[in-house]
Chains A and B, each alone.
Chain A
Amino acid sequence: MAQPLVKKDDDRDDEADYSPFLGIEKGAVLQEARVFNDPQLDARRCSQVITKLLYLLNQGETFTKVEATEVFFAVTKLFQSKDTGLRRMVYLMIKELSPSADEVIIVTSSLMKDMNSKTDMYRANAIRVLCRITDGTLLTQIERYLKQAIVDKNPVVASAALVSGIHLLQTNPEIVKRWSNEVQEAMQSRAALVQFHALALLHQIRQNDRLAVSKLVTSLTRGSVRSPLAQCLLIRYTSQVIRESSTNSQTGERPFFDYLESCLRHKAEMVIFEAARAITELSGVTSRELTPAITVLQLFLSSSKPVLRFAAVRTLNKVAMTHPLAVTNCNIDMESLISDQNRSIATLAITTLLKTGNESSVDRLMKQITNFMADIADEFKIVVVDAIRSLCLKFPLKYRSLMNFLSNILREEGGFEYKKAIVDSIVTLIRDIPDAKESGLFHLCEFIEDCEFTYLSSQILHFLGNEGPKTSDPSKYIRYIYNRVILENATVRASAVSTLAKFGAMVDSLKPRIFVLLRRCLFDTDDEVRDRATLYLKVLGGEVTVGETETDANDFLFGSFDVPLVNLETSLRNYEASEEPFDINSVPKEIKSQPLAEKKAPGKKPTTGLGAPSNGPVSAVDAYERLLSSIPEFAGFGALFKSSAPVELTEAETEYAVNVVKHIYDGHVVFQYNCTNTIPEQLLENVTVFVDASEAEEFAEVASKPLRSLPYDTPGQTFVAFEKPEGGPATGKFSNILKFIVKEVDTSTGEAEDEGVEDEYQLEDLEIVPGDYMRKVPVANFKNAWESMGPENEQVDEYALGVRESLAEAVSAVINILGMQPCEGTEVVPSNSRSHTCLLSGVYIGNVKVLARLSFGISGPKEVAMKLVVRSEDPDVTARIHQIVIES
């Protein structure tokens, strides 16, 4: 590791590359270090030698234990010299050597003498060195001096003691905590940095005491903290306090917000930015709170300093993920940043624009992205890919250029994570945009022709098997798939065989050819590949019957695995080899923990396309459907039309947490109550929800399914089903009471008592609203869809919406009431516009397609008017949509 410091090529042009350390060698320098032992010290010479030693260490040279000890002892001799410059180098050298405990003793007395010297520089540095190398026992001896130093009038000495205190707190907290009074006094110092260091130490001393931190913040935000660094620190502590207190006071103003806002007017940019960032990161920040922060960040975007531009665009980028509307104001400034010399700034600007931009700017943006995709790091590329996927889902019309872009970058160099992000995006687009299917599949086929990642290849093959046979010309995929059988490793070959079988099962015309290909696989070197080929040949040839009919054979090939893997694993572990074969039907299908899909609000932007099928909104419905159809009471309700996002029925941090998912069927609704017991000392049994539907006259309870037991921290579900008139638009309010039997649990043994007590718990009310009968379904091309729907069932009306906060607020309110999917990004209202047109699409219960065009206008006193044009396949539904707007 130790490299000779002479760089051979340095010799060529000696003038430019002259170095005072040319030809330096460790051995020689160690020899030179003998001058430290001279009775007549030459300070100048000694300084030079130390510099050389430091240079060696800095270049990565290491000293052996013996060498280090020798140097250390030699250096300690230099305390005799009165030369301040030399002394300073000695301090550095000691810190660099980090001596062992028995060596420390040698310098302790010298350092303690310096700590009490009249020279401030000696004092400051001796403190830093001593605290660096000391252990706990020595600390008690010097504690008195350190306390004095903290309140020393020289800021350098005070800072040295305070910073040392911050470090020592990690190892000797009980000692440092005793310095609280002195540190508090240092807070009042006039020196900026002392204030900063004192605040940092004071907070660390009190960090485990919430109340003390809160008091500290309260007193300091009123006073004047002078140093910008200390101000930044205070902002961080303040947002920490806000974070911890916000759960308690749900109503009213956010505490300390005024302070954060006032920091936006500070004179130091550092503080302004820290405050702006803190505001954007507040949990549940409102657009009103965001506005002043966004305004200062916008100013930073056009700064001449790259660091400022970067900081601003990075923060805005994060805001755009949660509040895209708030950032649209900055779009013009952001677009000029795309050509920024600094690539990091350009990337962040692009991805922010992708999140907030509108349809017309897509093509231009794509062109600009392509240019610099090559010279940014993978982690940035993944960010860009994710942004493009969400963009494509927002503007399905633009899929062609976006899909092209994805396929182009798929061909370039890149690591696994990056490639996976691209493939996932393409898969998501194929699923959500029917028009994109054929080209997307084709790009994936191209990709697996030269894919170095087994995982991706087999995932794509699986996906191809499901989607490929449904395309107009399935035969063109066969070549790509069979190539895998010839060229790839065993895992990919096995996947390819399964995929071939799926084509054979679905497409009759291809069957004979598939047979030929599968037979060739019978001679594969790998067991799994041969087994699969044999099995599929028999199944497809009808020699072995899986179930009774042909559909059963298809179920066997395509059927998703409806048994939870965890349950299967447990059952298989419990299974003991015997005469009786393992029966998969014996595996319980009840999902013990909450299904993954529920935790995520089913948004429009699935994060994963491949792999886990329980992700993403499409399959969230699948998961619910599977869950519900496994319950015999609900099996006769027909097809599930829609499942709502979970609605919380309890406040956060209550004893029992309950949320509800509304499942809408044609003639029924099912409420799925997801309950969590947060008390370790309790076991709940026979959990039901008593629903009072007196305010929902059209609903009649038909069935309920209690939850047998609800142990601590393991979510469980109970269901209640209602009958209602066919189709829409029955609405109503339901009040809920959770009923159960409580049993005490001994937390040490985990055993519950036998006797339980009946108890109940009031939950919040639940409503069925008109929007529940509408499913958000995007259309690829609104104009085409609108025209093909025709004006037969069109109804036009105008409504006054009264005084609204803003146009954007009115638009989003109407979208929420109707529960429809905004198309082509029209839910984004450009700021300051006086009118806006919004396009919505959806499917009403009974599978009736509905399209709506809303034109909004706002007058001076914020009076909003709306013209609503609805087209649908059924005149009754058209009228009903208008009815929804009239009633709300």
Chain B
Amino acid sequence: MESCPSVKNVLLLDSEGKRVAVKYYTDDWPSHAAKLAFEKSVFTKTEKTNARTEEIVMFDGYIVVYKFIQDLHFFVTGGDNENELILATVLQGFFDAVDLLLRNNVDKRTALENLDLIFLCLDEIVDRGIVLETEASVIAEKVASHSLDGATSFSEQTISQALATAREHLARSLLK
């Protein structure tokens, strides 16, 4: 019995349902075609909603939590026995980490320009289905510190800036 909370996939699609970056952690969708079919159905089932905050849908025995911003659609999928709030926490972590890494310019274009960060971000959140980290600032820091003097450098200043936004986020959520 696998009782450890597990994530089946994390998807980042654009406003037409095309892939920006996706990561599958289980064999539920063995072929590329099956994956695309899943993405298509999850996109069509959710596109009409206005997911400014985390929304949720259940179909085909999966629970999908999602959130949209600009022309980007974020999804996290789990099995139908999964604790919905754990999935939502993963989504929140992913979303906020991307927000920090892209310095609040979350749209498809910026995401594609910094695709390496997005890939690293996916890698730091979930490892083969097991939740690795959910705290956005920690994820962003882990991703950013890798590219310190790399091409897409995240200067020292921007890290503190990022952390400031993280604090701001925290403050905002406390104020709610």
Residue ranges of A at the interface with B (Cβ–Cβ < 8 Å):
1, 7, 18-21, 43-45, 47-48, 50-51, 54-55, 58-60, 62, 83-89, 92, 95, 121, 128, 132, 156, 159-160, 163-164, 166-167, 193, 196-197, 200, 203-204, 207, 229, 232-233, 236-237, 240, 269-270, 273-274, 277, 304-308, 310-311, 314, 341-345, 377, 379
Closest residue of A by beta carbon distance from B12? A58
Does B146 lie within 8 Å of A305, measured CB to CB? no
Specify which of B21, B55, B130 is in contact with A342 (CB 8 Å cutoff). Answer: B55
Pick 27 A–B contacts, CB within 8 A, sort by A.
A1-B33, A84-B145, A84-B146, A84-B148, A85-B146, A85-B148, A85-B151, A85-B153, A88-B147, A92-B119, A92-B123, A160-B127, A163-B127, A167-B127, A193-B133, A229-B131, A232-B86, A233-B3, A237-B3, A274-B85, A306-B53, A306-B55, A307-B56, A307-B87, A310-B84, A311-B85, A343-B57
Does B152 lie within 8 Å of A47, measured CB to CB? yes
In the complex the two chains form, what is the Cα distance from A236 to B148 in whole Å?
A: 41
Instruction: List B41-70 residues whose CB lies under 8 Å from chain A.
Output: 49-50, 53-60, 65
Specify which of A55, A203, A269, A274 is in contact with B115 (CB 8 Å cutoff). Answer: A55
Q: Which residues of B sit under 8 angstroms from A58, Cβ to Cβ?
A: 19, 21-22, 119
Taking A193-B133, A274-B85, A344-B58 as given, write out 16 further A-B residue pairs in contact, using a Cβ cutoff of 8 Å, ordered by the A residue number.
A47-B152, A54-B116, A58-B21, A84-B150, A85-B152, A86-B150, A92-B119, A128-B127, A193-B134, A203-B3, A240-B3, A273-B85, A307-B55, A307-B88, A342-B56, A344-B56
Instruction: List B125-142 residues whose CB lies under 8 Å from chain A.
Output: 127-128, 130-134, 142
Does B123 lie within 8 Å of A274, measured CB to CB? no
Does more than half of chain A's interface fall in helix, strand or loop, or is it mixed? helix
Evaluate whether A159 and B3 lie within 8 angstroms (CB atoms) in the complex, with A270-B89, A307-B56, A379-B59 already known.
Answer: no
In the complex the two chains form, what is the Cα distance from A50 to B59 in whole Å?
A: 36
Specify which of B56, B116, B142 is in contact with A306 (CB 8 Å cutoff). Answer: B56
Q: Which residues of A sit under 8 angstroms from B32, Cβ to Cβ?
A: 1, 60, 62
Does A47 lie within 8 Å of B56, measured CB to CB? no
CB distance from A673 to the nearest CB of B (A): 36
Q: Which residues of B sit under 8 angstroms from A47, Cβ to Cβ?
A: 116, 150-152
CB distance from B115 to the nearest CB of A (A): 6
Q: Which residues of B sit under 8 angstroms from A204, Cβ to Cβ?
A: 4
In the complex the two chains form, what is the Cα distance from A204 to B86 in whole Å?
A: 20
In the complex the two chains form, what is the Cα distance from A92 to B130 in whole Å?
A: 17
Specify which of B89, B109, B128, B151 is in contact with A43 (CB 8 Å cutoff). Answer: B151
Does B116 lie within 8 Å of A200, measured CB to CB? no
Does B36 lie within 8 Å of A60, measured CB to CB? yes
Q: Which residues of B sit under 8 angstroms from A377, Cβ to Cβ?
A: 59
The 5 closest A-B pairs by CB, nearest first: A85-B150, A44-B151, A85-B147, A88-B146, A311-B84
Specify which of B85, B134, B146 is in contact with A121 (CB 8 Å cutoff). Answer: B146
In the complex the two chains form, what is the Cα distance from A490 to B35 in whole Å?
A: 40
CB distance from A852 to the nearest CB of B (A): 43
Interface residue total, chain B, C-beta cutoff 8 A: 55
Q: Which residues of B sit under 8 angstroms from A85, Cβ to Cβ?
A: 146-153
Q: Which residues of A sit under 8 angstroms from B128, Cβ to Cβ?
A: 132, 163, 167
B120 at the interface (CB under 8 A from A): yes
In the complex the two chains form, what is the Cα distance from A197 to B126 in whole Å?
A: 12
Does B145 lie within 8 Å of A121, measured CB to CB? yes
Closest residue of A by beta carbon distance from B113? A20
CB distance from A761 to the nearest CB of B (A): 35
In the complex the two chains form, what is the Cα distance from A50 to B119 in whole Å?
A: 11
B161 at the interface (CB under 8 A from A): no
B160 at the interface (CB under 8 A from A): no
Closest residue of A by beta carbon distance from B88? A307
- Max count, chain A CB within 10 A of own CB: residue among B18, B60, B131, B150: B150
Closest residue of A by beta carbon distance from B50? A341
Q: Which residues of B sit under 8 angstroms from A269, Cβ to Cβ?
A: 85
Closest residue of B by beta carbon distance from A347? B58
Using a Cβ cutoff of 8 Å, how many contacts connect chains A and B? Answer: 161
CB distance from B18 to the nearest CB of A (A): 8
In the complex the two chains form, what is the Cα distance from A163 to B128 in whole Å?
A: 9
B164 at the interface (CB under 8 A from A): no
In the complex the two chains form, what is the Cα distance from A204 to B149 in whole Å?
A: 40
Specify which of B5, B22, B88, B115 is in contact with A232 (CB 8 Å cutoff). Answer: B5
Specify which of B19, B56, B151 is in contact with A48 (CB 8 Å cutoff). Answer: B151
Q: Which residues of B sit under 8 angstroms from A60, Cβ to Cβ?
A: 19, 32, 35-36
Q: Which residues of A sit under 8 angstroms from B105, Cβ to Cβ?
A: none
Closest residue of B by beta carbon distance from A1? B32
Q: Which residues of A sit under 8 angstroms from B133, Cβ to Cβ?
A: 159, 193
Closest residue of B by beta carbon distance from A48? B151
Does A163 lie within 8 Å of B3, measured CB to CB? no
Evaluate whether A307 and B85 lie within 8 angstroms (CB atoms) in the complex, with A20-B112, A55-B115 already known.
Answer: yes
B83 at the interface (CB under 8 A from A): yes
Evaluate whether A200 and B112 lie within 8 angstroms (CB atoms) in the complex, with A237-B3, A269-B85, A307-B85 already known.
Answer: no
Closest residue of B by beta carbon distance from A277? B83
CB distance from A93 to the nearest CB of B (A): 10
Closest residue of A by beta carbon distance from B92? A307
Q: Which residues of A sit under 8 angstroms from B54, Cβ to Cβ?
A: 305-307
In the complex the two chains form, what is the Cα distance from A263 to B150 in whole Å?
A: 45
In the complex the two chains form, what is the Cα distance from A222 to B105 in whole Å?
A: 46
Does B56 lie within 8 Å of A310, measured CB to CB? yes
Q: Which residues of A sit under 8 angstroms from B134, Cβ to Cβ?
A: 193, 229
Q: Which residues of A sit under 8 angstroms from B5, Cβ to Cβ?
A: 229, 232-233
Residues 1-41 of chain B, each 1 if its beta carbon lies under 8 Å from chain A, else 0? 10111000000000000110110000000001101100000
Does A19 lie within 8 Å of B109, measured CB to CB? yes
Q: Which residues of A sit under 8 angstroms from B21, Cβ to Cβ?
A: 58
Does A307 lie within 8 Å of B84, measured CB to CB? yes
In the complex the two chains form, what is the Cα distance from A22 to B43 in whole Å?
A: 23
Does A21 lie within 8 Å of B112, measured CB to CB? yes
Closest residue of A by beta carbon distance from B45? A377
Q: Which residues of B sit under 8 angstroms from A345, Cβ to Cβ?
A: 56
In the complex the two chains form, what is the Cα distance from A45 to B151 in whole Å?
A: 8
CB distance from B15 to the nearest CB of A (A): 10
CB distance from B106 to the nearest CB of A (A): 15
Q: Which residues of A sit under 8 angstroms from B120, Cβ to Cβ?
A: 88-89, 92
Evaluate whether A270 and B85 lie within 8 angstroms (CB atoms) in the complex, with A44-B151, A159-B132 already known.
Answer: yes
Closest residue of A by beta carbon distance from B144? A85
In the complex the two chains form, what is the Cα distance from A272 to B85 in whole Å?
A: 10
Specify which of A83, A304, A344 is in contact with B57 (CB 8 Å cutoff). Answer: A344
In the complex the two chains form, what is the Cα distance from A436 to B47 in whole Å?
A: 42
Does B150 lie within 8 Å of A83, measured CB to CB? yes
In the complex the two chains form, what is the Cα distance from A237 to B5 in whole Å?
A: 12
Does A311 lie within 8 Å of B146, measured CB to CB? no
Does A305 lie within 8 Å of B3, measured CB to CB? no
CB distance from A285 to the nearest CB of B (A): 18
In the complex the two chains form, what is the Cα distance from A712 to B117 in whole Å?
A: 63
Q: Which residues of A sit under 8 angstroms from B84, Cβ to Cβ?
A: 273, 307-308, 310-311, 314
CB distance from B88 to the nearest CB of A (A): 4
Does A197 lie within 8 Å of B151, measured CB to CB? no
Q: Which residues of B sit under 8 angstroms from A207, Cβ to Cβ?
A: 1
CB distance from B68 to the nearest CB of A (A): 13
